[in-house]
Amino acid sequence: MYRLFFDLIFKRMDPEKAHHLAFAWIRAAARVPVLRTLVAAVLAPRHKALRTEALGLRMHGPFGLAAGFDKNAAAIDGMSMLGFDHIEIGTVTAQPQPGNPKKRLFRLVADRALINRMGFNNDGSAAVAERLAAREAIFRTTVGVNIGKTKVVPEEEAVADYVTSTERLAAHADYLVVNVSSPNTPGLRNLQATEALRPLLAAVREAADRTVTSRRVPLLVKIAPDLADEDVDAVADLAVELGLDGIIATNTTIARDGLGLRTPKGTVEAIGAGGLSGAPLKERSLQVLSRLYARVGDRITLVGVGGIETADDAWERILAGATLVQGYSAFIYEGPFWCRKIHKGLAERLAASPYATLAEAVGAETRKKAAA
Ligand X SMILES: Cc1cc2nc3c(=O)[nH]c(=O)nc-3n(C[C@H](O)[C@H](O)[C@H](O)COP(=O)(O)O)c2cc1C
| DSSP labels, 53-102 | EETTEEES-SEEEPTTSSTTS--HHHHHHTT-SEEEEEEE-SS-B--SPS
* Residue 78 or 307 having the CB closest to ligand X: 307
Q: Is 222 annotated as a binding residue?
A: yes
Q: Which of 281, 359, 304 is nearest to 108 (CA)?
A: 281
Active site residue 125: no
Q: Is 83 annotated as a binding residue?
A: no
Among 142, 277, 323, 366, binds ligand X (CB under 6 A): 277
Cβ count within 10 A of residue 12: 9
Q: Is 120 annotated as a binding residue?
A: yes
Q: Which of 293, 322, 292 is nearest to 308 (CA)?
A: 322
As a whole number of angstroms, the distance between CA 207 and CA 211 comes to 6
Among 327, 339, 362, 363, binds ligand X (CB under 6 A): 327
Q: Give min distance, CB of 350 to ligand X, in A.
A: 21
**Alpha helices in 138-252, H assignment, sequence order:** 158-169, 194-211, 229-242
Q: By CB under 6 A, is residue 281 in contact with ligand X?
A: yes
Q: By CB under 6 A, is residue 223 in contact with ligand X?
A: no
As a whole number of angstroms, the distance between CA 83 and CA 332 comes to 15
Q: Report residue 312: phi and psi, to 5°.
A: -60, -40
Q: By CB under 6 A, is residue 239 in contact with ligand X?
A: no
Q: Which of 112, 67, 113, 59 is nearest to 91 (CA)?
A: 67
Among 42-50, 66-74, 132-140, 168-176, which window interacts with ligand X (CB under 6 A)? 66-74
As a whole number of angstroms, the distance between CA 268 and CA 111 comes to 11
Among 5-13, 63-71, 168-176, 351-359, which window interacts with ligand X (CB under 6 A)? 63-71
Q: Is 337 annotated as a binding residue?
A: no
Q: How many chain residues interact with ligand X (CB under 6 A)?
A: 28
Contact 201, 219 (CB under 8 A): yes
Q: Is 106 annotated as a binding residue?
A: no
Q: Is 71 annotated as a binding residue?
A: yes
Annotated catalytic residue, options 182, 277, 285, 290: 182
Q: By CB under 6 A, is residue 100 in contact with ligand X?
A: no
Q: Give min distance, CB of 329 to ligand X, in A.
A: 3
Residues 144-203 that bind ligand X (CB under 6 A): 146, 179, 182
Q: Where on the chain is the footprint of ligand X (CB under 6 A)?
A: 66-68, 71, 90-91, 105, 114, 116, 118, 120, 146, 179, 182, 222, 251-252, 277-278, 281, 305-308, 327-330
Give the active site residues.
182
